[in-house]
Structure 1
């Protein structure tokens, strides 16, 4: 199956929800070529840089295939459950969490990016949809998407193919990592591997190293 970028989204900081929380969650599809820098797509903004953005959350990818499932489960939100609806930068056609491995290097357009962690949804997801159930539902479903770090700046656009350039880790599909994080289920061997995995985002390596210390 040809893996490609279905759509590309960027967003500016704007008030979100009844309390007008500053957020870059709401994004708009762009039909033109976008520059990709070390901290993400040019024109995309994040409000709270303590938990969003940065080199290990530079570009957020989400599986286009998941939207059909979400619409079936939450038909009341069907109009908003469309590509870009979860605030992703790249809606990817042909990849889901079982197919994506920690450390995968993808060439998209002229940019080179690397999968480094899954998304952990926050309260802004609930604010966007006016539904407190959705963050917990995303965690439970495992349909979380993934963050890329940018290895080489470049340009990309909707329709570009996603080429797997390298897979340094073969033991950790993103779906397994999501289970470990959210359900606290892991073997000792898995925790040891994660603690030493250079491709994993530093915060999750710390998580694994803390687990090791706890088990000692």
Structure 2
């Protein structure tokens, strides 16, 4: 099933960021294809902090361009929202959102095969990028987070390519539902047990199991606003 067509591919280099000692590659620019994509992501793309960004389970970040109009309604006509790349995404499309994909979906794009492995957990770097102190929290609450692919088979990506749904093993777990459990129904034991039965990335497995065992929600403040050393 055809899901969408890639409209833009974007990459960025890691550079010093807004707070002392920090680096980021959130500022992405459009590149012409074909662009090789391997297990660690697109050729020419970098991450500023490999502890929390990049790696095989965050190889490629996809963000729906139609979300931009909703953000403009909320935030006004910011120059940052005039074109794709505001959220550090690698792939920009129209007509495909968190409601249209499920955790574990496998997509074919040319020779490459991509697996939807997690939604984005927004961090404080969005606050600084937009100049809005609670932008990361707004993204989290909105459900317009974007998502990450794991690269199952390397290949090359380029604008104009179709994203084809090849396999959907967990049709009950749309990304929208995942986000609801993560950030709204945070201690819903039934949903957490069901989510825990899926092949989650290690960080999510740890998060879900901790909630089930401790019946508490993890502290989001460092992720959303940064540590004391970064303020």
Query: 2:117–2:149: 8 Å Cα contact kept in structure 1?
Result: yes
Map 1:139-154 onto structure 2 (within 5 A).
139-154=140-155
Residue 118 (1) aligns with residue 119 (2): yes
Query: 1:17–1:130: 8 Å Cα contact kept in structure 2?
Result: no
Q: Give how far 1:117 is off.
A: 0.6
TM-score by length of 1: 0.92
Aligned to 2:214: 214
Give distance in 2, aligned partners of 1:18 and 1:111: 36
Change (3 A) 1:182 1:154: same
Query: 2:3–2:164: 8 Å Cα contact kept in structure 1?
Result: no
Determine helix, strand or coil for the equivalent of 2:203: helix
Residue deviations 1:24-68 (CA, integer Å, cap 9, x gap): 110100122110000111110011111001111110001111011
Q: Give how far 1:18 is off.
A: 6.1
Query: 1:16–1:128: 8 Å Cα contact kept in structure 2?
Result: no
Residue deviations 1:124-182 (CA, integer Å, cap 9, x gap): 11111222131111011110000111100110101111100000101111011111111
Give distance in 2, aligned partners of 1:22 and 1:191: 34
Give RMSD over aligned pairs.
1.7
Determine helix, strand or coil for the equivalent of 2:205: helix
Query: 2:103–2:116: 8 Å Cα contact kept in structure 1?
Result: yes
Determine helix, strand or coil for the equivalent of 2:6: strand
TM-score by length of 2: 0.87
Stretches of structure 1 lacking an aligned partner (at least 5 in a row): none
Give distance in 2, aligned partners of 1:15 and 1:131: 19
Map 1:11-30 onto structure 2 (within 5 A).
11-17=12-18, 19=20, 21-30=22-31
Aligned to 2:192: 191
Change (3 A) 1:12 1:167: same
Aligned to 2:226: none
Determine helix, strand or coil for the equivalent of 2:164: strand
Q: Give how far 1:187 is off.
A: 3.7
Determine helix, strand or coil for the equivalent of 2:93: strand
Give distance in 2, aligned partners of 1:153 and 1:48: 23
Residue 203 (1) aligns with residue 203 (2): yes
Aligned to 1:166: 167
Query: 2:187–2:211: 8 Å Cα contact kept in structure 1?
Result: no
Query: 1:195–1:206: 8 Å Cα contact kept in structure 2?
Result: no
Give distance in 2, aligned partners of 1:98 and 1:161: 19
Query: 1:196–1:205: 8 Å Cα contact kept in structure 2?
Result: no
Aligned to 2:60: 59
